[in-house]
């Protein structure tokens, strides 16, 4: 979080662990002031640097592990008796917009302001403003204001991302292999040089060090993100580190 320090994050996590939750989601604040205007109440000088963010995460991870929690994937920790941990051991973990789950289904219905729904082939998001949301409902209309239909390429690359974030490995499919060669493989070479992944043209496995950078590894399969890298003016997303 903005203005967060090692001392304050230790205090926060210790307070959290006093409740002994079965699972914890632990991830970085997303700085997107072009979407959330309230984030302009402070400026970028209040944000921790990349090195400080990594140190904060590493500090938190050590505390969770020392208290009996297991790192089950991107941003999540769970106790051994939790269903998420058991699903992770069996490689049956699934991930949707709300995070990790043991229930693998294509249908996710989001209710409320800004909620996102998914059908497996499409996504839809409700209005982010409370006034507009209720105005649409009062007219007996859906509160959906934007959405996206996935094409065949989207679905293939989504599977790569879900495989990596849920099991730490994936196998490459011959479909759209030219896109892997053009966009993904150059990124994997960089990741491999940092010992974050082991890979060949058949598939990849993330390393123990790579488990701290799952979001970055997954970004190597985000074609929309990779294509925008060629035009920095279009980069409108938060940073993983």
Q: Which domain holds residue 121?
A: 116-149
pTM of the entire predicted model = 0.81
Q: Is 123 in the same domain as 181?
A: no
| Residue 21 shares a structural domain with residue 92 | yes
- The answer to whether 220 touches 191, Cβ cutoff 8 Å, is yes
78, 125: one domain? no
What is the reported pLDDT for 144? 94
User: Are 131 and 80 found together in one domain?
Assistant: no
Residues 29 and 46 in one domain: yes
Most confident range, picked from 9-18, 50-59, 102-111: 9-18
- CATH assignment at residue 222: 1.10.10.920
| 19-48 tens-digit pLDDT | 999 999 988 877 676 666 666 767 777 887
Report pLDDT for 230.
61
**Strand pairing class (99-101; 76-78):** unpaired
What lies within 8 Å, CB to CB, of 148 at 6+ separation is: 122, 123
Give the number of domains in the chain.
Answer: 3
Q: What radius of gyration do the chain's Cα atoms show?
A: 19
């Amino acid at each position: 979080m903005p203005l967060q320090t090692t001392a304050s994050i230790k205090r926060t996590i210790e307070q959290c662990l006093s409740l002994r939750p079965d699972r914890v989601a632990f991830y970085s604040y997303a700085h997107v002031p072009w979407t959330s205007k309230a984030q302009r109440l402070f400026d970028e000088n209040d944000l921790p640097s990349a090195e400080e963010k990594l140190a904060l995460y590493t500090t938190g991870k050590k505390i969770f592990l020392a208290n009996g929690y297991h790192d089950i994937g991107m941003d999540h920790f769970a106790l051994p008796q939790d269903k998420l941990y058991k699903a992770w051991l069996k490689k049956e973990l699934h991930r949707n917009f709300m995070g990790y789950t043991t229930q693998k289904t294509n249908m996710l219905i989001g209710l409320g302001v800004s909620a996102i729904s998914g059908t497996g082939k499409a996504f839809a998001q409700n209005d982010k403003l409370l006034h507009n949301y209720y105005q649409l409902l009062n007219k007996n209309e859906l509160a959906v204001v934007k959405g996206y239909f996935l094409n065949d390429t989207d679905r293939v690359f989504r599977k790569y991302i879900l495989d990596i974030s849920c099991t730490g490995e994936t196998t490459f499919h011959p479909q759209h292999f030219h896109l892997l060669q053009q966009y993904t493989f150059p990124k994997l070479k960089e990741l491999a040089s940092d010992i974050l992944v082991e890979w060949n043209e058949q598939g990849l496995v993330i390393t123990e060090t790579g488990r701290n950078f799952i979001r970055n590894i997954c970004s190597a399969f985000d074609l929309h993100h990779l294509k925008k890298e060629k035009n920095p003016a279009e980069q409108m997303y938060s940073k993983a580190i």
